[in-house]
Amino acid sequence: MDEHADDTPNTPDIREPRLWSVDGWTARVVKNEDDDGWAVEMHRAGDAEPALVGPWTMGRDKKNPKPLDTAAFNTLVKTAHEVIRRAEQHLHATLHRQIDVEAPGGRVTVSLDIEPDEDNPSARLSAVDAAGEALASIAVSPGFQLNRASALRWVEADFAKPR
């Protein structure tokens, strides 16, 4: 089961003009605080913040919002999933970096893995050779900047703790 799915058993679907709640997703049409228009918020059950907020279409009377419908709701769910996926990919890329460098003994893959704990963040710098054999692994500051130059310096310094 999806860890973010609504864990309330048999929660009835809601399909109102300005509020839809189906399969752990809720779309709510709200007054846009920035102008005279409307916005839609997409919330995933269990998340504190909306996954997506965007402008919403005015109805024919040019005052009230267009009602939600199946096609719009499905598009909003798909878009919100994509936003969440991209955010997760970005976070993963920020916390887990990997660079290949050429050393005298051959190609070395240097990795930096950051654990973003609020109270005690940590990071580990590690190296493996072309065959996948571990060469070194040390704790470093979570602020360590891994780039090609820093990776090569670490390899050339025989994996001594970077300053």
Query: For 118-132, how does the pLDDT look when each residue is reduced to its tens digit (9 = 90+)?
Result: 899 999 999 999 999
* Three-class SS state of 90: helix
Domains in the chain, number: 2
Instruction: Give the predicted TM-score (pTM) of the model.
Output: 0.71
Confidence of residue 8 (pLDDT cuts 50, 70, 90): very low
Confidence of residue 156 (pLDDT cuts 50, 70, 90): very high
Residue 20, domain extent:
14-68
pLDDT at 10: 66
Q: CA–CA separation, 67 vs 65, rounded Å?
A: 6
Q: CA–CA separation, 50 vs 58, rounded Å?
A: 21
Count of other CB atoms within 10 angstroms of residue 26: 17
Count of other CB atoms within 10 angstroms of residue 119: 4
Instruction: Kindly state whether residue 83 falls inside one of the protein's structural domains.
Output: no
Q: Is the pLDDT of residue 26 over 70?
A: yes
| Residues 57 and 110 reside in one and the same domain | no
Provide the 8-state DSSP code for 51: S
| Residues 102 and 152 reside in one and the same domain | yes
